[in-house]
Structure 1
Amino acid sequence: MHDSYWIRTMPPWTDRPSGEGSLPYDVCVVGGGAMGASTAYWLTQLGRRPLVLERNDTPGQGASGRNGGFMVQGANPVHAEAVELYGHDEARSLYRMTQVNQELAEAVVQRENIHGAYTRATKVDLAFDEREEAYLRESVTPLRHEGVDAFWVPRSEVAEFLGTGVGSHISGGLVRRDQATLHSTRFVLGIADAARRHGATFVCKSPVIEIVPRNQGWRVVTETQVYDVPQVVVAVNAWAPELLPDLEPFLTLIRGHLLLTEATDLRLSPWSINDTATYGRQVPSGQLLVGGMRSAVSDADIGQKPRAGESGLDTRPAIVDALRRVLPDILPTTEGLGVDYAWAGVMDFTPDRLPLAGPYPGREGLWLMVGFSGHGMPYSLALPRALAEACVEPERSTLPTVLNPTRFLG
């Protein structure tokens, strides 16, 4: 099992003495990935004292440190499909939240001096077949009405925006200029460190064993400590059913694979093919990161779970081989480019591919932020901010109703 590129190149994280046993905490955040770190950050901005409990050695080593490093706009499906699935108003609201997310990312990385974590980028969504082309073309008009710099280009013009030509089976692509890429662990650790500077306490190597109601609050139990707090935010994504078994029917665990090539002189924009869940981008070293191709196996890599104490998964040769083959098939100029290594992580998909974000029904003071369906970074600042505000003033919550956990747990 290999660590990801992001974990191999992550900045140092130094545990600081916190004296956590003697402090009263307003909120306990379970999970120190992108969502947990960001929730802690926003809670400190609202004058609260959060405690973050993270099972790994540092924040950002779970799903947040094993992804593709994209901060794109929109919900998980392409926009036209999102309109079909969720309705025009909800799809528009979700798209706007991800736009706000980018605005917040730019502001926070500048304000908190988080270097090398965030980069603006043009992204090209490639059409693999007629169905996908139709969705991408249909997305252009509503996106432009929202002020998004989006347009369709035929295959002959894709190279102008992608940086290289595409295979003959690609008919064209939806181009959006105002997207972004991340160095995932630099981003998460930067947010976490900023949260610490503003008053949050992070306790790593501290897996939570149990969360139980107590008086008018909650008791959070780890292997070595017990914390009594008024509120708890569960932000552990695929690991949530271990603490809250009622979530298991609504969170499907899926293994995701990525590989890293040798460095290339090509200079490519990020790209994706929605129907095959395949995507790629260039990392600062000049290497290409390519992920997806779950369709290469009959079980679509469903139901995979890391071993106890681990955050990654072993790779499957069939999917790694499929990723090797698909890259020159999509981008012919990468033919012969060697592969450095591959890694795998775990995602949790909800039935509608939207996260569960909001109060746990019937359990006052317990909040959920899980089920991101491989699409967490686009929400990673805006949604935690809304949830942090709801923790402080529930009656003024701006959490999107379409994400309310009551749609499954009500």
Structure 2
Amino acid sequence: MHDSYWIRTMPAWTDRPAPDSSDSYDVCVVGGGAMGASTAYWLTQLGRRPLVLERNDTPGKGASGRNGGFMVQGANPVHAEAVEIYGHDEARSLYRITQTNQELVEAVVQRENIEGAYTRANKVDLAFDEREEAYLRESVTPLRNEGVDVFWASRSDIPEFLGTHVGRHIPGGLVRCNQATLHSTKFVLGIAEAAQRQGATFVSKSPVTELSPLRKGWRVVTPNRVYNVPQVVVAANAWTPQLLPELEPHLSLIRGHLLLTGPTDLKLSPWSINDTATYGRQVPSGQLLVGGMRSAVPDADVDQRPRPAESGLDTRSEIVDALAKVLPEILPATESLGMDHAWAGVMDFTPDRLPLAGAYPGREGLWVMAGFSGHGMPYSLALPREIAEACVNPERSKIPAVLNPTRLLG
């Protein structure tokens, strides 16, 4: 098993208890990835003292450190599909919260001086064939109605926006301007460090083994300590069902593969092909990251659970080989790049591919964020801000109703 590019290039981290540290915390956040670190950050902005319990030796080493580092706007499906599945109003609310998220990331990265974490970029959604072209074209008008600078580019025009020619089977692509990419671990650790400076306490190597309600509040058990806290936010990605077993039937655990190429002189924009769930981008080293191709071996990546105390998964050679093969089919100029290394992580998918975010039904003082279906970074500051606000004042929460956990849990 290999570490991701993000983990190999992540900054150093040290847990630093707040100067006035005591055993009194307002909220316990379970998980120190993008969602957990951001929730802690916003809680400190609201004058609260959060405790973050992270199972790894540093925040950001789980799913948040094994992804593609994309921060595009919109829900998991392309916008036309989101309108079709969820309805116009709900698709609009989802798109707007991801637009808000990008604005927040830009502002917070600048305010907290988080260097090298965020880069604006155009995103090119390539069409796999003419059928997908028609579907992508349907997104142009509704996206423009949301204020997105978007247009369709023909195959001959794609190099101007992508940075290279595409395979002959690709008729063109949807170009969305002013999207973004992240250095995943620099982003998460930057947010976590900002939260620490402002009063949050992070405790690494502290997997939560039990959550149980008290007469008032919650009992949170780790191998080393037991904490009694008024409220708990569970932001543990694929490990959520271990603490909240009622969610297990509603969260499918899916392995995702990624590989890193050798060096290249190409300068590419981020891209994806929805039909094969394949995507790629350039990382700060100049190498290309490509992920997806779960369809190469049907069901091989379904119900893949990490071993205890591990955050990654073993790669499957057939899928890594398929990724290496498909890249030059999509981008012919990459044929001679070769592969540096590959890695895998685990994602938690809901049946409707929408996150669960909000109060846990029937459990006062318990909140959950889960089921981001491989699309967590686009929500990474906006949804945690709403969860933090809900912990302090539920009446002021603006979490989209379509994300409410009651839709699955009743």
Compute the TM-score of the two structures, normalised by the length of structure 2: 0.99
Quote how far apart the aligned CAs of 1:120 are. Answer: 0.2
Structure 1 residues 314, 20: CA separation in 2 closer, same or farther (over 3 Å shift)?
A: farther
What does 1:1-80 align with in structure 2 at a 5 Å threshold?
1-17=1-17, 22-80=22-80
Q: Using the alignment, how far apart are the partners of 1:408 and 1:335 within structure 2?
A: 45
1:41-85 deviation line (CA, Å, top 9, x unaligned): 000000110000000000000000000000000000000000001
Q: Using the alignment, how far apart are the partners of 2:10 and 2:282 within structure 1?
A: 17
Matching residue's letter, 2:224: T
1:29 and 1:50 in contact (8 A); partners too: yes
What does 1:10-159 align with in structure 2 at a 5 Å threshold?
10-17=10-17, 22-159=22-159
Q: Using the alignment, how far apart are the partners of 1:21 and 1:190 within structure 2?
A: 21
Unaligned runs of 5+ in 2: none
Q: After alignment, is 140-149 or 130-139 more displaced?
A: 130-139
Match of 2:246 in 1: 246
Q: Using the alignment, how far apart are the partners of 1:234 and 1:274 within structure 2?
A: 30
Match of 2:163 in 1: 163
Match of 1:178 in 2: 178
Q: Using the alignment, how far apart are the partners of 1:346 and 1:404 within structure 2?
A: 23
Match of 2:310 in 1: 310
Match of 1:278 in 2: 278
What does 1:363-382 align with in structure 2 at a 5 Å threshold?
363-382=363-382
Q: Using the alignment, how far apart are the partners of 1:243 and 1:21 within structure 2?
A: 27
Describe the SS at the equivalent of 2:60: coil
Q: Using the alignment, how far apart are the partners of 2:15 and 2:45 within structure 1?
A: 22
Describe the SS at the equivalent of 1:208: coil
Quote how far apart the aligned CAs of 1:145 are. Answer: 1.4
Matching residue's letter, 2:138: E
2:17 and 2:202 in contact (8 A); partners too: no
RMSD over aligned Cα, in angstroms? 1.0
Q: Using the alignment, how far apart are the partners of 2:165 and 2:353 within structure 1?
A: 31
Q: Using the alignment, how far apart are the partners of 1:73 and 1:179 within structure 2?
A: 7
Query: Is 1:233–2:237 an aligned residue pair?
Result: no
1:54 and 1:205 in contact (8 A); partners too: yes
Match of 2:334 in 1: 334
1:124 and 1:175 in contact (8 A); partners too: yes
Matching residue's letter, 1:265: D
Q: Using the alignment, how far apart are the partners of 1:256 and 1:371 within structure 2?
A: 14
Structure 1 residues 116, 404: CA separation in 2 closer, same or farther (over 3 Å shift)?
A: same
Match of 1:290 in 2: 290
Unaligned runs of 5+ in 1: none
Q: Using the alignment, how far apart are the partners of 2:21 and 2:250 within structure 1?
A: 35
Quote how far apart the aligned CAs of 1:216 are. Answer: 1.3
Compute the TM-score of the two structures, normalised by the length of structure 1: 0.99
Match of 1:215 in 2: 215
1:32 and 1:52 in contact (8 A); partners too: yes
Identity of paired residues, percent? 82
Matching residue's letter, 1:102: Q
Matching residue's letter, 1:122: N
